[in-house]
Amino acid sequence: MKIRKISILLAVSLGAIIAFTGCKKDDGAIPERVSIVAVPTITTNIDATGSQAINLLNLASFSGKFKVDLYFPGATPPSKVDIVVRKNNGAVNNNNVKVYKAGVTTFPTTFTVTAAEIATLFGVPIALGDNYDFAPDIYVGDRKFEAFPVVGAGTGAGLNGQPFFSEFARYAAICAYDPNIYQGNFVVVSDAFGDFVPGEIVPITKIDNSTFSFLDPYVTNPLPIIVKVNTLNNQLTITKQKIGNAFTWNLSYTNPNMAVAASTASFVAPCSKTIDLNINYTVDQGGFGSYLLKLKAQ
């Protein structure tokens, strides 16, 4: 069995390091010369009733809805916020940020953005693979705290992972899923696991408008592998399932299973007619880890 190596990273977060070179008469728990500003936490969440991605095959259909609100109800609101949008993760040091709506003072507020508005803001057409992140620059008095500063972390970075908190609303430019593309013969581009050989043909069977299947011929008594498509963002999942009785290349590895978790590593790209599956392989005897299988329509 392939050996999985686990790397453990010990992360230490240092909030601030202060060097004291001498005492001053205003020293105390909080010296008078230190300015403390309470910056409210703002969450920016995509509304499920709007578009979840930008369909390049039908730009006019995009209607992205997102809500900007205080994360802690009843908290003191900021003086105002400017809703800004960052293109393609800022490319280099968040240097591609535009103001979408300025001077927002009401919370919560819901916004609806179109593809035409985005293209106008950045001065170029939306292209495949682009992504656009909407978030607030927060003003407290005359001080501004940026969502996407040129250097350093933004106002929302520290709360990531908290329940119902979202640092920004992201819309990616994709080609919408077409179930008629994902049937018939696909060619193996690569298989990091080593079951399939580049150039090998893998028949894809359409089950319904958001599901397809295929077989792994390198197991005994192969079972259909059911792949589910999230048609809102083209991400793929495979609920952990048995794919056969044993691997043909080692019959001692029994009851092989595949699973694919929802992530940006597993997706269909209808414009290029490809499939990327980051597959986690397990057997009765243990696990192999995750390996990327890439397929392309013949």
Structural domains of the chain in order of their starting residue, each with its CATH number: 42-174 (2.60.40), 184-297 (no CATH)
Lateral strand order in the sheet of 63-70:
42-46, 63-70, 109-114
Q: Which residue matches tokens 């919370």?
A: 107
Question: How far lies 292's CA from each of 106, 172, 194, 231, in Å?
Answer: 46, 22, 10, 21
Residuewise pLDDT in 10s, the chain (298 residues)? 444 343 333 333 333 333 444 555 555 555 555 456 678 999 999 999 999 999 998 899 999 999 999 999 999 999 999 999 999 986 566 889 999 999 999 999 999 999 999 999 999 999 988 999 999 999 999 899 999 998 877 777 767 778 989 999 999 998 889 999 999 999 999 999 999 999 999 999 999 999 999 999 999 999 999 999 999 889 999 999 999 999 999 999 999 999 999 988 999 999 899 999 999 999 999 999 999 999 999 9
Report the sign of the C-alpha dihedral through residues 106, 111, 117, 119, in that order: positive
Alpha-carbon span 231 to 224, nearest angstrom: 21
Alpha-carbon span 104 to 136, nearest angstrom: 9
